Amino acid sequence: MHNSTPYSSINMRKSLIITLLVSLMAVTARAQEKFIFTPQWTAQAQFAGYYVALEKGFYKDLGLDVEIVHPSVTQSAINRIQNNESHATTLQLAQAMEIVGDGIPLVNILQTSMNNAMVIVSRRGKNPLEQQGEKVGIWQAGFGQIAICMSINDNLGYRWVPFANNVNLFIEGAVDATLAMSYNEYYQLKQTGIEFTEDNVYRFCDHGYNIQEDGLYMTLEYYNKHQDQARRFADASRKGWEYAMENPEETLDIVMRMVQKNNIPTNSVLQKLMLDEVIRLLHDRESGKAEFRLRKDMVDKASRYMYEIGMLNRPVTYEEILAK
Amino acid sequence: MKQEKQKSLSTRLSIWIVLFAAVIFIAALGVFFAESRNAVRREAINNATQVLDNTVQRVDNILKGVKVATENTAWLVGRHLDEPDSMFTYCRSILQNNPNLNGCSIAFEPFHYRQKGLYFSAYALNENGRIQTTQEGNDHYQYFYLDWYQLPKLLDRPCWTEPFRDFNPEDIYSKEMIISYCIPIKDTDQRYIGTMSVDLSLDWLSKTISAVKPYPNSYSIMIGKGGTFFVHPDSSKLFYQTIFTQTMLEPDSSVINLGHDMQAGLEGVRQMDIDGTNSYVFFKPLAETGWSVGIVCPASDIFGGYFRLINSIIGIVIVGLLLMLMVFSSIITKQLEPLEDLVYQAETIASGNLLEELPEYTHNDEIGLLNKSFRNMQLSIVNQMEELKKVNEQKGRIQSELKIARDIQMAMLPKIFPPYPDRDDIDVFGKLTPAKEVGGDLFDFYIRDEKLLFCIGDVSGKGVPASLYMVVTRALFRTISAHESSPSKIIQNLNEVMSKGNESNMFVTMFIGVLDLPTGRLHYCNAGHDAPLLIGNTGAGMLPVDSNLPVGVLPEWKFSLQETLLDPDTTIFLYTDGLTEAENIDHKQFEMSRMVELAKSMQKAGTFTPTFVVNEMTEKVQAFVGEADQSDDLTMLAIQYTKHHKDIVYQHSLTLTNDLKRVPRLNAFIDEVCEANGFDMSTTMQINLAIEEAVVNVMNYAYPEGTKGDINVEAKSNGEVMKFIIRDTGVPFDPTVKEEVDITLSAEDREIGGLGIHLIRQIMDNINYERTEGHNVLTLTKKLPK
């Protein structure tokens, strides 16, 4: 570069100036609103659409200055929402309904998942439905609502073992079976060399518990004040997901950058498998399309299950959680 | 050309030798390589295994130390459960006593000590030799959900955790990667109440294992029970990947199997592809934790020296073989030089120069022997050639003799056709085509005393023997028939003669016919020959014949005589089996049926003169046979009886008794007849003499002495010839067959009658005897004067 011609130097300088001018104009044209988004888990491909929307400038395009702040040990996503430290988070439908039922009004501003991804995997060769009363791992951080309903409904009476990480408990044989997300723990377990068959994996979606999961939520209070902003955030996020579906390879790169930035002990193989699975889950089983909508039937079903076993002290309705 | 041949022979030989040597080399080297490879491999395995054993032993010893220390302290803890604050002392003291330990937690179930609240976990941390203690549990460090706490609780036994990174946002914690040995704490009722966990930095362990490097490019790995790499030179894999991670996208059964075996605590060695490098993986479990330590050695490291050795040996062998090829080729070429000379000479000899001198070669080796053999061969070829020449000359002579024999044989056969151009009562045509130079078929005919004697025959076999037999047969026929007019007798005589001394068991089938020309009466006798055909104005068909036996088989056989009367214009067609058994290329025979059909068609067309019949048959049989070789002699003889009786213009008759006194009466009768028919005096006298001789002969011999008998003499003229027919009813007697008179004997010695017949023959134009209806009929013919 020491030998660059005078012409190219002039050119470089010129382009620098133009870039500066353009960015200045953009700032003046539209005041960027700060928006903090916290996904409910550490950085991983589960949130690929949001990372893409951020990286590709979809938020910026809609005038949002989005910052993604992952939850920490000290601060869970829902804590951040309640404390107004974050403006939006992702939650599973059942998890959100449980929170709403507990008296914290939340609204769904974008539904991404159209399917249930939860599975029960049991130790080699054992059918989870035949493991009555056995020790089954469950996330200490929540997410197990539908599994609890199923254990009661199907009279399985599992003894739940809350875990922070289920891999070691499972391979050591400390639990007989464990809950897992088909895009995450399922692959983590598989990565330890465990071979799953049709017999030792129970998929909730195949047994009448196909209740959609991840969606974008914010408190009703914040939503009521910032409806336009919420809509723009949802729109840009949806755009991010649509881009991710069309460009899975680029998306994986974006995810891996985010993962590395956050020092997550994972690898690109797991993230690729997760991304593929999450994209699959975006598609409704019946229509085969990524619909990005909350399904009333699923809300009603989840409400009924959870209310029946006393997890909800009142039914939570579709209308109640859907952003107007 | 010669040069090339020899080149190629020596080159070929050299190549074969070198190829053979190469095969032996390859086999020997193969065994050597395989053996030495195994030895190198065994050595490598021993070496690596030993290094691995030592390392694992060292690590296990450390882990065991941790275990013992933990258990000792746990025992103390168990004894002081009622003093929660003493837990801080215990966790501090274990670190003090074991400086290699990183930390220690003695943690209890939520609200185990009511006064301590939800969380109570006494924790000591050794930070560079400075030991701090704290109660680590808080809302952000809910230890009871962590592996180190939960595992011994759920498993209800002491255990090692997988390496992990601790994080307590609100308190002190180890910044290093640690592993923990955890023991469930139980109260006096053996109820689980908490977990004691002792931490060891993974760092020391990693360094110890990583330091193992038996080969320049080898590296060490360690995987946990979940397959996670806890030691690996690639930092992107360390902690973040398991041994199975890559196989989730690209299944690799060798890696999967290795992973499973390592997880299962097996010990062993595998050869496999690791990151595109052919490598050996030695692995052994840590007895304490169940983790597995492995050493990955590229095969090129292990076998580097071995491959260098192989390459140089292969190089030497190739160069050696090439040298061998060159050396052998030149030696063989040199050794084969005399052979080249020999080849050159041999070619000269082969081109016809039989007397060409062979090169001198003094060595007594194979080439010397070949040279000698060649000389001998040359000599014997020269001799053979001489022999051959002689044989050829002999053969030529035999051939020409055979030709002569054929000419003689053919000359024996009638060959002038038509044979009797002057006669209007008979037409004959015959043809013989031998299959070889000489043949065994025969035919013959001649007229004697107004009788046509004819025969056809076929000698068994072919060639010279058959031809000799044929000649004999034909000669005998002529001899015997000269004085015998009965076909059966002729054949009988023939048979007697030919059966005698017939050592070669030959035989002849024959048909002999005697046709009385004036009357058309045919006497015939068949000796095993095919029946002749008769083609006449009224039809065509076989002449009925008795088959009898062929001539020459049984000397005493009685041959039957048969007779028939031929209508004018009837053609008798005689043939040998060369006609009926003529074969075409498909070995189909011409057969009797075809011949008969042909005869019938000729009959219908009204053309059946002898020449036509024979030629037509010849043509048809040739057309039938086509390209096939003639397999047998082919002989055909056709005789047409064309006698048409002219009107009698003069007839006069006289009957006498057998009394010599009646002779003058006869003389008067003859004179009268001769005069009436214009004979001159001299001729009349002669005729008178002849008739008298014949009649007197009858008077003297026809009737037994003392018996009376009549003799009728009839004179007939048709304007051309005068016939005197003498009939009697005496004993059958044919004067015509009496021997010609031997005029060298005196008159008294001559047989009676003999001279008379001779006289009659001299005077008359023709003499003919017939025995019909109990009569001897002797016909004497004389042409009328013009």
CA B533 centroid distance within chain = 50
Helix (H/G/I), strand (E/B), else coil: B97? helix
| A73 in reach of chain B (CB within 8 A) | yes
Please indicate whether, in this complex, the C-beta atoms of B245 and A172 are within 8 angstroms of each other. Answer: no
Residues A46 and A123 in one domain: no
d(C-alpha B388, C-alpha B21), whole Å: 51
What is the domain extent for residue A26?
1-30
| B248 in reach of chain A (CB within 8 A) | yes
Closest residue in B to A272 (Cα) is B249
Please indicate whether, in this complex, the C-beta atoms of B245 and A191 are within 8 angstroms of each other. Answer: yes
Please indicate whether, in this complex, the C-beta atoms of A168 and B147 are within 8 angstroms of each other. Answer: yes
pLDDT at position B453 is 93
Position A111 pLDDT exceeds 70: yes
What is the band of A24 on the pLDDT scale with cuts at 50, 70, 90? very low
| A260 in reach of chain B (CB within 8 A) | no
Residues A91 and A221 in one domain: yes
Measured between CB atoms, which of A167, A270, A272 is closest to B226? Answer: A167
d(C-alpha B349, C-alpha A200), whole Å: 95
What is the band of A5 on the pLDDT scale with cuts at 50, 70, 90? very low
The mean pLDDT of A148-159, rounded to a whole number, is 90
| B109 in reach of chain A (CB within 8 A) | no
What are the two backbone dihedrals, phi and then psi, of residue B274, each rounded to the nearest 5 degrees? -120, 115
pLDDT tens, position by position, A50-87? 999 999 999 999 999 999 999 987 788 888 888 889 99
pLDDT at position B332 is 84
- Contact residues for B192 (Cβ-Cβ < 8 A; gap 6+): B109, B153, B156, B184, B185, B186
Residue B130: Cβ-neighbour burial (10 angstroms; 0-12, 13-18, 19+): exposed
Distance from the A53 Cα atom to the nearest Cα atom in chain B, whole angstroms? 27
Q: Which tokens hold the place of B285? A: 């479990």
| Touching B: A residues 167-226, CB under 8 Å | 167-169, 171-175, 187, 190-193
Residues A107 and A217 in one domain: yes
Q: Is the pTM of this model over 0.80?
A: no
Please indicate whether, in this complex, the C-beta atoms of B225 and A73 are within 8 angstroms of each other. Answer: no
pLDDT at position B747 is 45
Residues A137 and A174 in one domain: yes
> Which residue has better confidence, A15 or A221?
A221
Domain finish residue from A173, A206, A239: A206
| B235 in reach of chain A (CB within 8 A) | no
What is the band of A301 on the pLDDT scale with cuts at 50, 70, 90? very high
What is the band of B738 on the pLDDT scale with cuts at 50, 70, 90? low
Place of tokens 């592809």: B273
- CA-nearest of B181, B176, B145 to B161 is B181
| Touching B: A residues 28-67, CB under 8 Å | none
d(C-alpha A174, C-alpha B655), whole Å: 164
Q: Burial code of B589-602, b = ≥16 C-beta within 10 A, e = fewer?
A: bbebebbeebbeeb
CB B160 within 8 A of CB B181: yes
d(C-alpha A184, C-alpha A205), whole Å: 16
Please indicate whether, in this complex, the C-beta atoms of A193 and B236 are within 8 angstroms of each other. Answer: no
Q: Do domains B80-204 and B205-303 have the same CATH topology?
A: yes
Residues β-bridged to residue B133: B124
- Range of weakest confidence among A100-114, A245-259, B698-712: B698-712
pLDDT tens, position by position, B231-284? 999 888 888 899 999 999 999 999 999 999 999 999 998 999 888 889 999 999
Task: Enumerate the H helices of chain A as residue ranges.
Answer: 6-29, 48-55, 58-61, 77-82, 93-101, 145-153, 167-172, 185-191, 220-225, 227-246, 248-261, 268-282, 296-308, 318-321
Residues A26 and A45 in one domain: no
Homologous superfamily in CATH for domain B205-303: PAS domain (3.30.450.20)
| A267 in reach of chain B (CB within 8 A) | yes
Whole-number Cα distances in Å, B537 to B436, B519, B570, B580: 37, 18, 7, 24
**Over pLDDT 70: what percentage of chain A?**
90
pLDDT at position B305 is 82
Q: How many CB atoms lie within 10 A of CB B403?
A: 12
| B225 in reach of chain A (CB within 8 A) | yes
CB B669 within 8 A of CB B653: no
Helix (H/G/I), strand (E/B), else coil: A155? coil
Residues A270 and A128 in one domain: no
Residue B239: Cβ-neighbour burial (10 angstroms; 0-12, 13-18, 19+): buried
Please indicate whether, in this complex, the C-beta atoms of B228 and A192 are within 8 angstroms of each other. Answer: yes
Measured between CB atoms, which of B142, B227, B236 is closest to A193? Answer: B227
pLDDT at position A23 is 45
pLDDT tens, position by position, B594-644? 899 999 999 998 888 999 999 999 999 988 988 888 878 889 999 999 877
What are the two backbone dihedrals, phi and then psi, of residue B283, each rounded to the nearest 5 degrees? -140, 150
The mean pLDDT of B536-565, rounded to a whole number, is 89
Distance from the A176 Cα atom to the nearest Cα atom in chain B, whole angstroms? 10
Residues A66 and A22 in one domain: no
Q: Which tokens hold the place of B339? A: 């052979």
Residues A200 and A287 in one domain: no
The mean pLDDT of B542-547, rounded to a whole number, is 90
Q: How many domains does chain A have?
A: 3
pLDDT tens, position by position, B292-344? 999 999 988 888 888 888 899 889 989 988 998 889 888 888 888 887 887 88
pLDDT at position B388 is 92
pLDDT at position B310 is 86
d(C-alpha B55, C-alpha B48), whole Å: 10
Fold of B650-783: Heat Shock Protein 90 (3.30.565)
pLDDT at position B525 is 94
Please indicate whether, in this complex, the C-beta atoms of A174 and B249 are within 8 angstroms of each other. Answer: no
Helix (H/G/I), strand (E/B), else coil: A223? helix
Residues A187 and A302 in one domain: no
pLDDT at position B739 is 55
Residues β-bridged to residue B130: B127
Helix (H/G/I), strand (E/B), else coil: B61? helix
Domain at A188, CATH number: 3.40.190.10
- Contact residues for B370 (Cβ-Cβ < 8 A; gap 6+): B339, B342
pLDDT at position B212 is 86
Whole-number Cα distances in Å, B772 to B397, B498, B702, B704, B753: 55, 31, 15, 20, 22
Measured between CB atoms, which of A74, A164, A171 is closest to B225? Answer: A171
The mean pLDDT of B129-142, rounded to a whole number, is 92
Please indicate whether, in this complex, the C-beta atoms of B242 and A187 are within 8 angstroms of each other. Answer: no
pLDDT tens, position by position, B748-764? 444 545 567 888 888 88
pLDDT at position A31 is 60
Measured between CB atoms, which of A72, A174, A269 is closest to B245? Answer: A269
Domain finish residue from A190, A206, A222: A206
Domain finish residue from A185, A206, A227: A206
Position A97 pLDDT exceeds 50: yes
d(C-alpha B674, C-alpha B687), whole Å: 8
Measured between CB atoms, which of B151, B246, B259 is closest to A174? Answer: B151
Distance from the A9 Cα atom to the nearest Cα atom in chain B, whole angstroms? 39
Please indicate whether, in this complex, the C-beta atoms of B154 and A171 are within 8 angstroms of each other. Answer: no
| B498 in reach of chain A (CB within 8 A) | no
The mean pLDDT of B376-391, rounded to a whole number, is 88
Residue boundaries of the structural domains of chain B: 80-204, 205-303, 336-412, 417-641, 650-783
What are the two backbone dihedrals, phi and then psi, of residue B330, each rounded to the nearest 5 degrees? -70, -40
Please indicate whether, in this complex, the C-beta atoms of B155 and A74 are within 8 angstroms of each other. Answer: no
d(C-alpha A121, C-alpha A203), whole Å: 9
DSSP B202: H
Distance from the B198 Cα atom to the nearest Cα atom in chain A, whole angstroms? 18
d(C-alpha A12, C-alpha A1), whole Å: 12
Residues A155 and A232 in one domain: no
The mean pLDDT of B453-473, rounded to a whole number, is 86
Residues A92 and A232 in one domain: yes
What are the two backbone dihedrals, phi and then psi, of residue B772, each rounded to the nearest 5 degrees? -135, 135
- Contact residues for B247 (Cβ-Cβ < 8 A; gap 6+): B255, B256, B259
Residue B61: Cβ-neighbour burial (10 angstroms; 0-12, 13-18, 19+): exposed
The mean pLDDT of A173-188, rounded to a whole number, is 93
- DSSP states of A28-39 as a string? HHSPPEEEEEE-
| Mean pLDDT score across all residues of chain B | 87
- CA-nearest of B276, B277, B259, B450 to B268 is B259
Measured between CB atoms, which of A74, A162, A266 is closest to B140? Answer: A74
Residues A149 and A218 in one domain: no
pLDDT at position B260 is 93
pLDDT at position A25 is 45
The mean pLDDT of A147-164, rounded to a whole number, is 90
CATH code assigned to B336-412:
1.10.287.130
Position A12 pLDDT exceeds 70: no
Position A230 pLDDT exceeds 90: yes
* CATH-assigned architecture of domain B417-641: 4-Layer Sandwich (3.60)
Position B401 pLDDT exceeds 80: yes
Rg (CA), chain A: 22
What is the band of B745 on the pLDDT scale with cuts at 50, 70, 90? low
CB A187 within 8 A of CB A128: no
Please indicate whether, in this complex, the C-beta atoms of B169 and A73 are within 8 angstroms of each other. Answer: yes
d(C-alpha B282, C-alpha B295), whole Å: 5
CA A295 centroid distance within chain = 17
CATH code assigned to B80-204:
3.30.450.20
Closest residue in A to B166 (Cα) is A73
Position A13 pLDDT exceeds 70: no
Measured between CB atoms, which of B155, B167, B236 is closest to A174? Answer: B155
**Over pLDDT 90: what percentage of chain B?**
36
pLDDT at position A141 is 78
CA A236 centroid distance within chain = 16
d(C-alpha B321, C-alpha B318), whole Å: 5
pLDDT at position B753 is 52
Position B746 pLDDT exceeds 80: no
CB A135 within 8 A of CB A107: no
pLDDT at position A168 is 87
CB A35 within 8 A of CB A88: yes
CB A231 within 8 A of CB A48: no
Please indicate whether, in this complex, the C-beta atoms of A168 and B155 are within 8 angstroms of each other. Answer: no
What helix, strand, coil percent values describe chain B, rounded to 5?
45, 25, 30
| B90 in reach of chain A (CB within 8 A) | no
Position B357 pLDDT exceeds 80: no
pLDDT tens, position by position, B407-462? 888 888 888 888 888 888 899 999 888 777 777 888 999 998 888 999 999 988 77
DSSP B628: S
> Which residue has better confidence, A302 or B365?
A302
pLDDT at position A233 is 96
pLDDT tens, position by position, B332-354? 888 888 878 878 877 887 787 77
The mean pLDDT of B169-186, rounded to a whole number, is 92
pLDDT at position B519 is 83
| A262 in reach of chain B (CB within 8 A) | no
What is the band of B5 on the pLDDT scale with cuts at 50, 70, 90? low
Distance from the B269 Cα atom to the nearest Cα atom in chain A, whole angstroms? 19
Q: How many CB atoms lie within 10 A of CB A315?
A: 15
pLDDT tens, position by position, B76-90? 898 999 999 999 999
Position A163 pLDDT exceeds 90: no
